[in-house]
Structure 1
């Protein structure tokens, strides 16, 4: 039940933001796609900040896990492990 309530809350926040920006919902396709890209990029802020605080490698994370999440599995080619 909790994920549904969180999703509803996030949707309501998006609706409020759309209202403040004067964009009708559902948004025109270009605006909606840019919004989805913003969501994907925004999801990465937390893990990147956490890595910075822990002094862990950030660039490697961005090139692998972050790129895979934002751009899809084709973004990071699998390594060729031939012996």
Structure 2
């Protein structure tokens, strides 16, 4: 239930921002897509900030493996799991 309330609150906030910018909702496709891209990138700023705050390195490899799949929706290939040892 909490997720639904958060989603509703985010939608209300976006509606207010659209009204302040005098953009009709639903927004024209280009504006809507840029807004969605901003949301996806903004989501990744929290883990990035947490990692930096904890003193952990923020490397391009980490950004590529952790953030890129969440922004693009494309799962990164995983190494195959090692086979389980055979029992005798």
Give the TM-score taking structure 1 as reference length: 0.85
Rg (Cα) greater in structure: 2
Most deviating of 65-74 and 26-35: 65-74
Unmatched runs of 5 consecutive residues or more in structure 1 = none
Give the CA deviation at 1:3.
Answer: 1.2
CA deviations on 1:23-63 (whole Å, 9 max, x unpaired) are: 00000011000000000000011100001011212122211
Give the CA deviation at 1:80.
Answer: 8.1
Write the distance in 1 (CA, Å) between the matches of 2:73 and 2:79.
16
User: 2:13 maps to which residue?
Assistant: 13
Q: How does 1:41-60 map to 2 (within 5 A)?
A: 41-59=41-59, 60=61
3-state SS of 1:56 partner? coil
> Which portions of structure 1, spanning 4 or more consecutive aligned residues, are displaced by more than 6 angstroms?
none
Give the TM-score taking structure 2 as reference length: 0.80
3-state SS of 2:67 partner? helix
3-state SS of 2:27 partner? coil
User: 1:65 maps to which residue?
Assistant: 66
Unmatched runs of 5 consecutive residues or more in structure 2 = 82-88
Which has more helix, going by share of residues?
A: 1
CA RMSD of aligned residues (A): 1.7
